[in-house]
A and B are shown apart, each in its own frame.
Chain A
Amino acid sequence: MKSLLLGNEAAARGLFEAGCRLVSSYPGTPSTEITEEAAKFPEIICEWAPNEKVALETAFGASLAGGRAACCMKHVGLNVAADPLFTISYTGVNGGLVIFVADDPAMHSSQNEQDSRHYAVSAKLPMVEPSDSSEAKAFVKQAFEMSEAYDTPVLVRMCTRIAHAQNTVELSERIGVPVRAYEKNPQKYIMSPANAKLRHPIVEERLTKLREFAETTGLNRVEWAEKNPENALGIICSGTVYQYVKEVLGDTVNILKLGMVNPLPEKLIRDFSAKSGRVIVIEELDPVLEEYVKALGIPCEGKSLFPMCGEFSQRVIREKLGLPELASPAPFEVPGRPPIMCAGCPHRGLFFVLAKNHYTVIGDIGCYTLGSAKPLNAVDMVLCMGASVSGIHGFNKIRGEETEKKTVAVIGDSTFMHSGMTGLANIAYNGSNSTVIIVDNSITGMTGHQNNPTNGFNLRGEPATKIDLEALCHALGIESVAVCDPYDLKGTEKAIKDALAFNGPAVVISRRPCALLKNVKKAAPLTVDPEKCIGCKSCMRIGCPAISLRDGRPVIDIGQCTGCGVCSGLCALDAIGSTAKGGEA
């Protein structure tokens, strides 16, 4: 049977067909759907972990117990999981262990453009890289075989254009893979220095064997040009770049398509290069393949022609190889349309209060990063998951009282569970008068609504233990913990001012579920009373997409308005009222 599947859906299908028994992940674009789709198979235990390190260690535990297991994350998630990764390389596995890492060239939804292949090289692990959905499924199955045959975790590198592109995939049945026996083996699984010293040479031997495997595996293949291959351009590439190269050059060039990007096949590359004319390595982001080829003494081009930044396309291939540009209409200048907080977003009221008071805001990763956008411009710094809570502590330690009374950290519920808790323990332990605002919208929002340990539901939507944020903050040593509703601007402002005035660290939980959640009841839309409105534009200051100006007066789009009332709270003339029966307007 053939189906049209996203790369991520195909990867999940691969997990199912390969007999995988457990998937533990933390959501992150563009990797999230692998775990969500895997959860549609009742045969696989699928869980959201609080962060990628926990997820990988859970998957490792499952592998140790003898079951095939997997773990999925975005590129920056692998930074969090790097600690177990490097040492699982030493212990090896029992049941097959496959780790997905999804890179995001062009940063469609990421804070940096790091190239995960470096992790495979430095952790001495095999990495495969599919170039479409059908390979995504097939490579996952091969990755499990490789994992068990070579006693190693295997990395699968996905990229946005593989993860989020759909194409046809042939489906097969799930294979029965029994849980392997578990035997206590301290020398293999206790990585004390004495044992680790014995494991390191095994890792090096494994890498040598994997290099031999790379020479012959079907994961790597050569496609010779239809005519005169001996003089044809030789292109070395992998993943999505292979598709762009084929699109532009078809079978007029020799192509070495690497499905296994670490370790690399020396003999295959030497042979391919010797049998081709000019050799060009085309790869997005860093020159990982190119540097390897050059180190072999093979003359080639790569980053001298192709950029280091951003993603490629058939246009980039054409342009950089000097092929003519395609004709198209002239570009047309239109106003920019950056992403924004949705109408009814609970973050809007909070960031309005922060902007109004000119507080310094140490931000974090999530929808609320958008508090940095115009017209609120409320955020000073965004770095990585959890950095708001740790960052504010260092900031206040340097500037002391000067900033303690007007600086806040803002972090989401899911991000707080991911890596904000440790920062809060640090604030309590090392004594800064820092104020942390946890924006609790009952969901992991930006990645498309995943449940998390604070909302009472697990990945499959079943009831789960709900971690009490207030109790948790108290337990982490914070005496002052207050809760506010960000739709109530006055109450929110008071809660924050009280927290800043408190002599000691404080937490404010700004609590209101995401307006896009299906179970959230929306109030009747609001409307502007033209008799009362004088066009002062106070309501425009919150940057709500449901309010626009027509002939100098605000108009509310009833299709978008959720009736949150943040705008009416700003109207001194009481000109904004509900459209509900009995409403004021």
Chain B
Amino acid sequence: MKTCNVMIVGVGGQGTLLASRILGRVFLKNGYDVKISEVHGMSQRGGSVVTYVRAGEKVYSPIIEKGEADYILSFEKIEGARYINGLKKDGILVTNTGETDPMTVITGACEYPHDALEKLTAAGVKTDETDALTLAREAGSEKAVNVVLIGRLSRYFEFPEEDWMEALCETVKPAFLEMNQKAFRLGKG
């Protein structure tokens, strides 16, 4: 059983914690040892956030460091770029194309690099881009961006779809289950 490292990055409030919990549960159902690391508190308030999901025969460290991630799942266009050196040489950046201006851009101190993904691709990084917001709206809620992206990431694993659905069932509120299932399937495409 090969160890798999997934970094989930985004903006505080986008639901990276839920996404990491869904992914962790799917690994667990498939017999992996799992560790997930989250950050709470001050750093959550609209700041850049990262959670780590690690799965394998036996996992020790709960975090993922430079050059260790098989996948970076990014909820916002430049957040994947921020953590790009977490990726392995042959790792894949699965990313939302949606942009959320950080305060440094709002105040005019910095310019938003709209071409970040093109530049990363030109530098040899494998990227897989999705307009998750459009798909989330189609599913019924802008808040489902996280589940759309988990759906997209699921394409890289051979786990049965019912495992993902079960994990959704265990982690989202029953009232939003159907909408999230739709979001997942739209993301998976």
Contact = CB atoms under 8 A, between A and B. Distances in A.
A165 interface: yes
11 contacts: A4-B36, A109-B40, A166-B38, A167-B59, A244-B61, A327-B67, A329-B85, A332-B123, A335-B102, A338-B103, A375-B107
B96 to A, nearest CB: 14
A337 B42 contact: no
Interface stretch (A296-304, A471-479, A543-551): A543-551
Given A165-B37, A545-B101, A540 B62 contact: no
A231 B156 CA distance: 44
A165 B35 contact: yes
Interface string B114-126: 0010011001110
Contacts of A314: 61, 63, 65, 68
Contact of A167 (B46, B62, B103, B111): B62
B111 A335 contact: yes
Given A326-B68, A332-B119, A335-B104, A341 B45 contact: yes
Interface in B86-119: 86-89, 100-113, 116, 119
Interface in A290-348: 313-315, 325-332, 334-342
Given A314-B61, A548-B101, 20 more contacts: A4-B21, A6-B38, A29-B41, A108-B41, A132-B35, A164-B37, A166-B34, A247-B60, A313-B63, A325-B66, A326-B67, A327-B89, A328-B66, A328-B88, A334-B81, A336-B48, A336-B110, A337-B47, A545-B100, A545-B103
Nearest to B124: A329
B172 interface: no
Contacts of A339: 12, 42-47
Given A161-B63, A244-B60, A246-B60, A543 B106 contact: yes
B128 interface: no
Query: Which of B66, B116, B120: most chain A CB closer than 10 A?
Result: B66
A30 B84 CA distance: 27
Interface in B25-60: 25, 28, 33-48, 59-60
Interface residue tally of chain A, by bracket? 35 or more
A549 B65 CA distance: 35
A195 interface: no
A164 B39 contact: yes
Contacts of A166: 21, 24, 34-38
B86 A328 contact: yes
B142 interface: yes
A337 B102 contact: yes
Contacts of B34: 4, 166-168
Nearest to A557: B100
Query: Which of B11, B24, B41, B112: most chain A CB closer than 10 A?
Result: B41
A540 B104 CA distance: 12
Contact of B103 (A132, A243, A313, A543): A543
Query: Which of B43, B62, B85, B120: most chain A CB closer than 10 A?
Result: B62
B40 A30 contact: yes
A515 to B, nearest CB: 12
B46 A315 contact: no
B41 A330 contact: no
A166 B28 CA distance: 12
Interface string B1-35: 00000000001110000000100110010000111
A164 B42 CA distance: 14
A332 B106 contact: no
A326 B28 contact: no
Nearest to A366: B42
A314 B37 CA distance: 14
Given A29-B42, A335-B111, A548-B105, A161 B47 contact: no
A316 to B, nearest CB: 8
Contacts of B142: 559
B82 interface: yes
Nearest to A7: B62
A549 B24 CA distance: 38
Interface string B143-187: 000000000000000000000000000000000000000000000
A202 interface: no
A447 interface: yes
A334 B28 contact: no
Interface in A427-468: 446-448
Contacts of A545: 46, 100-101, 103, 106
A335 B66 contact: no
B65 A161 contact: no
A133 to B, nearest CB: 9
Nearest to A375: B107
